[in-house]
Amino acid sequence: MGDFKDLKVYQKSYRLAMEIFLLTKSFPGEEKYALISQLRRSSRSVSRSIAEGYRKRQYPNHFISKMSDADMENSETQVSLDFAYSCGYISEEENDKLQSISEEVGKMLYHMMT
């Protein structure tokens, strides 16, 4: 039936996490244990939760729970991106681009849950 890595939502969330990783390399050092760590953690957790849920897809309640976890982490990523923009660490264009990808991931997750 394929692998979680074949899922478009996984691929998109993974690319988003990697873009965030690269972008946060330019953030000020004072944000290392705050915003940088938080953004990287939440964005990576989306892909992790998708992978975990996919492995348990034969159990619908567990699958939905993990997709819900992924959606929660995705929302957390969006908030952290807003903070990064408001603090002047990323441009409006960068924020808009990453938010758009994150919104696509959220829609895909919602579709999977329903």
CATH number where 89 lies: 1.20.1440.60
Place of tokens 């890595």: 5
Asked whether the beta carbons of 62 and 53 are under 8 A apart, the reply is yes
Over residues 9-16, the mean pLDDT reads 98
Domain count, the chain: 1
Residue 106 confidence (pLDDT) above 80: yes
Please count the other Cβ atoms lying within 10 Å of the Cβ belonging to residue 28.
11
**Domain span at residue 72?**
4-113
Scan for tokens 């004072």, then name that residue. 30
Report residue 2's pLDDT band, with 50, 70 and 90 as the boundaries: confident
Q: Which amino acid is at 54?
A: Y
**Is residue 1 scored above 80 in pLDDT?**
no
Q: What is the mean pLDDT of residues 42-70?
A: 96
Summary mean pLDDT of the chain: 96
CB-CB contact of 28 with 19 (8 Å): no
